Structure 1
């Protein structure tokens, strides 16, 4: 079991995971595809990357941060990693449909289901903003952390006036 560090967010408990000096996981406790993690006690001696992630997430939830500045290392299949890189390019306040995301990746819109599946396996939620991907008509579809959390994250960002790109 890999170690994780608890972050109490307005949307529920989140476990942060890091390897070396890069953030490798941001998981809502109990979310779909939640890995087995050993939650470490918060004794004040946090790894630097975990402390930075906690601080930046706190700023995000309080509306003070729109862009995260953290070294990330997400591991998956080559296709998943390609999807996650594309997710990281979606700016704060913008939404992208699964089909449009497939097209940006040079695939046909018919690959939207494959994009959605890889999106759901994103190990660094919120920071790699998989919540900004919606159905073709702008409808909220699945989110590993739960559709209610997706709605709340989009609501948090709504002050910037979302637009479907």
Structure 2
């Protein structure tokens, strides 16, 4: 992190979210928790020295985008300034690639690895980067799926069901599998 850290808890249609920033950019984003106190606790567990503050214009714009997102309106976070100090160069490359995924688009861990020139065998490392993403939604890790287009994991509150809800907001759905022997009734 670069400089003093500040945060803001705010309401959305999905519940209270939290955002933290330094002068260099957003360092953490907390997806909706059960209530504002839970969201604050989850956001600040990694930032115990952060102070509540009014956000600067770029962060205020990101907050408005988050509100639109949870209202079901397309939102683009690709220009939100980030402070990813402490992240490896490889993780930063993964995060940059994930930020190019737009509303309603998905990819897989293996495809993202291959697109970075790392080869599909690095899919596990892409998954690790997504699991450690400090700014979920702003870096849209929910749009990165497991092999075969399966949902995969999600480290945010609510796990994979939260990922499914976020994707559903974007019009991405996962139909239940067809029964293999439907003509025989089992």
Match of 1:20 among 23, 31, 47: 23
Matched-pair contact (CA < 8 Å) for 2:108–2:146: yes
Match of 2:116 among 80, 96, 105: 105
- Rounded to whole Å, the distance in 2 between the matches of 1:92 and 1:65 is 6
Per the alignment, in what secondary structure is the counterpart of residue 65 of structure 1? Answer: coil
- Rounded to whole Å, the distance in 2 between the matches of 1:125 and 1:13 is 14
1:47-77 deviations in Å (ceiling 9; x for gaps): 3333222111111222333322422332311
Offset at 1:122? 1.4
Q: Which has the larger radius of gyration?
A: 2
Per the alignment, in what secondary structure is the counterpart of residue 24 of structure 1? Answer: strand
Structure 1 gaps of 5+ residues are none
Root-mean-square deviation (Å): 2.6
Q: Give the direction of change, closer, same or farther, for the CA distance of 1:73–1:46 in structure 2 (3 Å limit).
A: closer
- Rounded to whole Å, the distance in 2 between the matches of 1:116 and 1:31 is 21
Q: Give the direction of change, closer, same or farther, for the CA distance of 1:120–1:112 in structure 2 (3 Å limit).
A: same
Structure with a larger share of its residues in strand: 1
Offset at 1:23? 2.0
Alignment length (residue pairs): 158
Match of 2:161 among 135, 148, 154: 148
Offset at 1:20? 1.1
- The two structures have a TM-score, normalised by structure 1, of 0.81
Moved more, 48-57 or 1-10: 1-10
